[in-house]
């Protein structure tokens, strides 16, 4: 009898462990891998202006710990100049912060995409739903093409809908114009780039 109980105890422990829910890794709806470079264009513009106004975003630095990323430095560049932005990730949300950690804007709320609505600086945001991105041909085969549409209703100006993909963030935005949704921002290229090496004398 005792030998039978000795066999049952390990089996019972295995059964309990098997029934426990394993926490899925947090999904990050923003770029966070160092060196990742994303290029965006406004398809509503004619060429060559569309190409000339292209915006490039590069993940310059990421404070990565086990699990989700923490603080990510993003470098924006275009023909008009450059801009550096710090994005702080936490609990599914993304805040844009200054060098002192002060929140400048909330890109996504904590709990996203389970949070269905929120307000930031007078703009109301509503989660519209999940969808596969039509422009997924530019993504690598390993990327997830299914994302979340979010609608922004500012106190003034047109409504805007943005699609967020895992590990990339916003890949397409549409603006309501005369009753139609016009694409005004779209990811057109991506890859990994290194900073140019400094030449030493």
Burial of 115 (0-12, 13-18, 19+ CB in 10 A): middle
Structure tokens at 187: 């990811």
Cα distances from 183 to residues 103, 109, 118, in angstroms, run: 29, 24, 23
Tokens 């912060």 correspond to what residue? 97
Cα separation, 78 vs 131, in Å, equals 30
- Greater confidence (77 vs 91) lies with 77
pLDDT tens digit sequence for 32-57: 999 999 999 999 999 999 999 999 99
Both tokens of residue 19? 């029934």
pLDDT per residue over 105-150, tens digit each?
A: 999 999 999 999 999 999 999 999 999 999 999 999 999 999 999 9
pTM of the model: 0.82
């Amino acid at each position: 009898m005792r030998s039978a109980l000795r066999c049952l105890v390990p089996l019972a422990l295995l059964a309990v462990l098997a029934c426990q829910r394993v926490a899925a890794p947090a999904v990050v709806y923003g770029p966070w891998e160092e060196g990742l470079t994303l290029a965006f264009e406004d398809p509503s513009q004619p060429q060559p202006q569309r190409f000339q106004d292209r915006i490039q975003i590069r993940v310059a630095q990421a404070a990565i710990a086990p699990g989700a990323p923490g603080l990510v430095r993003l470098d924006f560049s275009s023909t008009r100049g450059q801009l550096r932005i710090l994005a702080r990730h936490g609990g599914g949300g993304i805040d844009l912060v200054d060098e002192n950690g002060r929140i400048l804007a909330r890109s996504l709320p904590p709990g996203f995409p389970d949070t269905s609505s929120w307000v930031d600086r007078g703009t109301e945001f509503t989660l519209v739903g999940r969808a596969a991105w039509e422009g997924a041909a530019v993504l690598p085969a390993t990327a997830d093409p299914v994302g979340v549409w979010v609608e922004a209703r500012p106190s003034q100006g047109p409504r805007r809908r943005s699609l967020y993909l895992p590990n990339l963030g916003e890949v397409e935005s549409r603006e309501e114009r005369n009753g139609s949704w016009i694409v005004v921002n779209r990811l057109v290229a991506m890859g990994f780039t290194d900073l140019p090496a400094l030449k030493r004398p």
